[in-house]
Amino acid sequence: MTPEWLPALAADLTARVDAHAGDLVALSHDIHDRPELGFAEHHASRLLVDALAAAGFTTTTGVAELPTAFRAERVFGSGGPTIAVFCEFDALPEIGHACGHNIIATAGLGAALAVAERLADNGGNGRLVVLGSPAEEGGGGKVLMADAGMLSDVDIAVMVHPAGFDAVSRTNLGRVSLEAVFTGRASHAAAAPEHGLNALDAATLLLVAIGLLRQQLRTDSRLHANIVEGGDAINVIPERSRVTLFIRSPDLDYLRGRLYEGLRDCVRGAAIATGTEFELTEVAPAYDPVRTNPILAELATHAFAALGRPIDPVSGTSGNAGSTDMGNVSQLVPAMHPYVCVTPGLAIHTRDFAAAARAADGDRAVRDGASLLAITVAALFDHPELVEQAKAS
């Protein structure tokens, strides 16, 4: 049942977000037009920091020894909870903002501006924090920020992600990022191929072995590979190859057990078959599955309904998504990672999604994503008992 106080709260926060909508959409387009890869999002980070500073937030850049990471905060009254809103802003190689992080960044900003205005007007208590987290697409910015203590004083953390559907939660997968390097021996490919040990052959065999291994894996788990280095000259036997790999599963024991061990055996077998040496290393922070907090999920469900986006209980909580470092956050503090629809059925990490993230559908997701977060966060400040319930659950 919707709390009696929620409709008025939602109307207030939505109106506050709408007052900033023009600036938020312009900033979303600006970030989209200048896509930056993880740990190099200098333009996007500066835009967000400047906007928060202009709104009275105290800002600190370069936190956790990450040049594009930041923390901004405003304190209201005395006591009260500390609630953090995460902003992501990195793009994908080649296809830009095909995951809609321009929407994530500006929706988070819009929520912070609206909630701060409400707290200032109504005399609320608490600390509102905005955390700019770089390199979600593989670099694990949130993991590094958490390791540096950025969550040590946070009671609840939230963000919103664009998608082809509305949902309060999905089954995000744990992920380990690996790299296999094969080392062989160079030789002339025509005059003396018998003296070479072909590292590219090892990489090729690895991909074949992975394809066969997939037949025996759990259907909820994933394994991806990409050859990123495989020789420089056609007439030289490649002496080095490099393969990047992701393994994913909602079950951490399976991820680190059967899935990792099966992949390791594929790498070892490819090396044995080609007479090459191999190294298999973990090259980035591992991502944990997202632990959805039921109290926050219920609040988000009410907020979705208030925005005219009622959640289907089936589509709203089922099916696999990708992996996110918000999963690591959710293992430390109560967290929320809902999805706001851009274009129904449209898949992320596609050129079509990149286009939609800057079109009218994407602009609507900025406004509704900001309102969704703002309603939820304001409810937590207005009703601190919900914060305690979320922490207890």
CATH number for the domain spanning 276: value is 3.30.70.360
In terms of domains, do 182 and 80 share one?
A: no
With a cut of 80, say whether residue 188 has pLDDT above it.
yes
The CATH code of the domain that includes 349 is 3.40.630.10
Q: Residue 324 and residue 121: Cα distance in Å, rounded?
A: 35
What are the strands, taking DSSP E only, across 220-346? 222-229, 240-249, 277-282, 335-336, 339-341
Q: Residue 61 and residue 66: Cα distance in Å, rounded?
A: 8
Of 257, 282, 307, which residue sits at a domain end?
282
The closest of 217, 221, 220, 225 to 267, measured between CA atoms, is 225
In terms of domains, do 178 and 32 share one?
A: no
Token pair 């979705």: residue:
304
pLDDT in tens, 146-160: 999 999 999 999 999
Range scoring the smallest mean pLDDT among 73-87, 299-313, 359-373: 299-313
For residue 171, what pLDDT band results from cuts at 50, 70 and 90?
A: confident
In terms of domains, do 157 and 36 share one?
A: yes
Query: What token pair was written down for 281?
Result: 């290393």
Tell how strand 277-282 and strand 222-229 pair up: unpaired
In terms of domains, do 42 and 149 share one?
A: yes
For residue 115, the model assigns a pLDDT of 98
Average pLDDT along the chain: 96
In terms of domains, do 92 and 223 share one?
A: no
pLDDT over 90, % of the chain: 95
The closest of 165, 225, 171, 172 to 348, measured between CA atoms, is 165
pLDDT in tens, 20-78: 999 999 999 999 999 999 999 999 999 999 999 999 999 999 999 999 999 999 999 99
DSSP labels for 39-56?
T--HHHHHHHHHHHHHTT
Total number of domains constituting the chain: 2
Within-domain flag for 215: yes
Q: Residue 85 and residue 157: Cα distance in Å, rounded?
A: 6
For residue 382, the model assigns a pLDDT of 97
Within-domain flag for 241: yes
For residue 313, the model assigns a pLDDT of 58
In terms of domains, do 21 and 148 share one?
A: yes
Of 282, 317, 339, which residue sits at a domain end?
282
In terms of domains, do 157 and 187 share one?
A: no
Within-domain flag for 277: yes
In terms of domains, do 167 and 312 share one?
A: yes
In terms of domains, do 163 and 259 share one?
A: no
Within-domain flag for 1: no
Can you give the residue range of the structural domain that contains 324?
6-172+289-392
For residue 169, the model assigns a pLDDT of 87
Q: Are 334 and 390 contacting, i.e. CB atoms less than 8 angstroms apart? A: yes
Spell out the residues 6+ positions from residue 310 whose beta carbon is closer than 8 angstroms to its own: 304
3-state per-residue secondary structure call for 102-143: HHHHHHHHHHHHHHHHHHHHHCCCEEEEEEEECCCCCCCHHH
Of 234, 266, 282, which residue sits at a domain end?
282
With a cut of 60, say whether residue 218 has pLDDT above it.
yes
For residue 314, the model assigns a pLDDT of 52
For residue 316, the model assigns a pLDDT of 47
Spell out the residues 6+ positions from residue 314 whose beta carbon is closer than 8 angstroms to its own: none
Query: What token pair was written down for 137?
Result: 């697409």
For residue 78, the model assigns a pLDDT of 93
Alpha-helical segments (H) within the chain: 6-33, 42-54, 101-122, 141-147, 199-213, 252-254, 260-274, 294-306, 326-330, 351-356, 360-382, 384-392
For residue 68, the model assigns a pLDDT of 98
Within-domain flag for 53: yes
Q: Residue 64 and residue 338: Cα distance in Å, rounded?
A: 26
For residue 144, the model assigns a pLDDT of 98
In terms of domains, do 38 and 163 share one?
A: yes
With a cut of 60, say whether residue 174 has pLDDT above it.
yes
Within-domain flag for 350: yes
Q: Residue 205 and residue 198: Cα distance in Å, rounded?
A: 11
* Predicted model pTM: 0.94
For residue 318, the model assigns a pLDDT of 45
For residue 2, what pLDDT band results from cuts at 50, 70 and 90?
A: confident
In terms of domains, do 16 and 82 share one?
A: yes
Within-domain flag for 48: yes
pLDDT in tens, 299-344: 999 999 999 999 875 554 545 678 999 999 999 999 999 999 999 9
Q: Residue 391 and residue 365: Cα distance in Å, rounded?
A: 29
Spell out the residues 6+ positions from residue 342 whose beta carbon is closer than 8 angstroms to its own: 100, 103, 162, 163, 164, 353, 356, 357, 361, 362, 364, 365
Q: Residue 331 and residue 142: Cα distance in Å, rounded?
A: 12
For residue 319, the model assigns a pLDDT of 57
In terms of domains, do 14 and 45 share one?
A: yes
